[in-house]
Amino acid sequence: MFRFAFRRFLSAVPTLFIVVTLSFFMMRIAPGGPFHLERPLPPQVFENLNRAFFLDQPLIVQYGHYLWNLMHGDFGPSFIYRDFTVAELIGNSLPYSMTLGFWALLIGVGGGVFVGSLAALKQNSLIDYMVMSVANIGITVPNFVFAPLMSLVFAVVLGWLPAGGWDDGGFRNLVLPVISLALPQFAVFARITRGSMIETLRADHIRTARAYGLPSRTIVIVHALRAALMPVISYLGPTAAGVLTGSVVVETVFSLPGVGRYFVLGALNRDYTLVMGTVVLISIFIIVFNLIVDLLYAVLDPRVRYE
């Protein structure tokens, strides 16, 4: 298992390399640059800035330069936030995004799986319909509609919770952003769990377990849930990576200092290094979580063996 994990980790290196290369050149092909401002800089300043950030060199030289630094763990300086390196910017904001993402993931996945199983056990009951309606809403209503509406109702009209900001990251500040972030995940996981649970409950091994006269709680928790979780797990990887690396919408609506908005801000301002930094970060998260998912498969399904 350890050897498998190591091999998988190594095989991620070329993927990461391709992603970095593609992103690097795609961004450079786009017109404009970090110092093409609306009010043009004096040509002397412009040239000096370009020289300072190696932008006057041929593209391929810049690419080699960036790759070399990246391999040494140096993400370079930010072009727009001049006083910070990209590593500092990401390092400062990632904890916020991860805290938010952790709770959202916990509620989304935990709640979704629980509610989905409940709906599957009581198929076509009132609970089932209620769960599926909430899931439908969660899937159709996008974040950028749901988050402002939540803020409007609970912060502006009712005044129960703050409309935004982090403060001390207490419960009151976290409730709205976490719920906004969790709802779509909750909906998706509830649907997946319900579907696979219904299928699993009809499976042979469950029938056998029933025939043995096992208590239904044991059947559901030990035998059915374990098999029903397989499709949930495969969806978990990319979702976890996406949620933990921050959401542009939730961070913008609730004005939180997370890492998600750097992505969009960086791309709009042509902050090349910042965008590259976030791209690498997201890719690493995706790779790591896919690896975790593969390992979880082996834990959940005894038929899966990694040698």
Partner 1 sequence: MSEQKSSPVTQAPVQGLSLWMMARRRFLRNKAAMFSLFVLIAVAVFSFGGTWVYPHAYDQIFDSYVAIPPSLEPYPKEDTLHQVMQDAAEHGHVSLADFSVTGSTYTAKVTSDKAIDPRVTRYLDRPDEFDGAAIKETLDGGNSAIVTGTVNRQYFPFGTDRNGRDLMPRIMVGGQVSITVGILATLVSLVIGVVYGAVSGYIGGRTDNVMMRFVEILYSLPFMFFVIMLVVFFGRHFVLIFVAIGAIQWLDMARIVRGQTLSLKRREFVEAAHAMGLSNWQIIKRHVIPNTIGPVVVFVTVLVPQVILLESFLSFLGLGVQEPMTSWGTLIAEGTTGMQFVPWLLIYPSIFFVVTLFALNFVGDGLRDALDPKDR
Report, in Å, the least distance between residue 44 CB and partner 1. 27
Report, in Å, the least distance between residue 101 CB and partner 1. 15
Q: Choose the binding region for partner 1 from 28-36, 37-45, 108-116, 121-129 (rule: CB under 8 A).
A: 28-36
Q: Choose the binding region for partner 1 from 11-19, 62-70, 91-99, 167-175 (rule: CB under 8 A).
A: 11-19
Nearest one of 297, 212, 301 to 5, comparing CA atoms:
297
Burial (CB count within 10 angstroms: exposed 0-12, middle 13-18, buried 19+), residue 164: middle
Report, in Å, the least distance between residue 156 CB and partner 1. 5
Tell which one of 45, 145, 222, 304 touches partner 1 (CB under 8 A).
Answer: 145
Beta carbons within 8 Å of 257's beta carbon, 6+ residues apart: 92, 93, 96, 166, 251
- Closer to partner 1 by CB, 222 or 268: give it: 268
Does residue 130 interact with partner 1 by CB under 8 A?
no
Structure tokens at 121: 């056990």
Task: Please state, as a whole number, how many other Cβ atoms lie within 10 Å of the Cβ of residue 115.
Answer: 22
- Closer to partner 1 by CB, 227 or 280: give it: 280
Query: CA separation (Å) from 257 to 120, 201, 247, 260, 268?
Result: 39, 44, 11, 9, 18
- Residue ranges in 48-77 that form contacts with partner 1 under rule CB under 8 A: none
- Closer to partner 1 by CB, 176 or 279: give it: 279
Does residue 253 interact with partner 1 by CB under 8 A?
yes
Structure tokens at 80: 């727009």
Report the distance separating Cα 199 and Cα 201, nearest Å.
6
Count of helices and strands (H, E) across the chain: 14, 0
Q: Choose the binding region for partner 1 from 93-101, 188-196, 274-282, 296-304 (rule: CB under 8 A).
A: 274-282
Report the distance separating Cα 205 and Cα 301, nearest Å.
14
Q: Which residues pair with 77 in a beta bridge?
A: 85
- Closer to partner 1 by CB, 185 or 278: give it: 278
Does residue 279 interact with partner 1 by CB under 8 A?
yes
Report the distance separating Cα 187 and Cα 101, nearest Å.
16
Does residue 19 interact with partner 1 by CB under 8 A?
yes
Tell which one of 49, 134, 141, 288 touches partner 1 (CB under 8 A).
Answer: 141
Report the distance separating Cα 159 and Cα 163, nearest Å.
8
Structure tokens at 57: 């060199």
Does residue 283 interact with partner 1 by CB under 8 A?
yes
Does residue 139 interact with partner 1 by CB under 8 A?
yes
In the complex, the residues that contact partner 1 under the rule CB under 8 A are 15, 18-19, 22-23, 26-27, 29-32, 136, 139-142, 144-145, 148-149, 151-152, 156, 248-249, 253, 263-264, 267-268, 275, 278-279, 282-283, 286
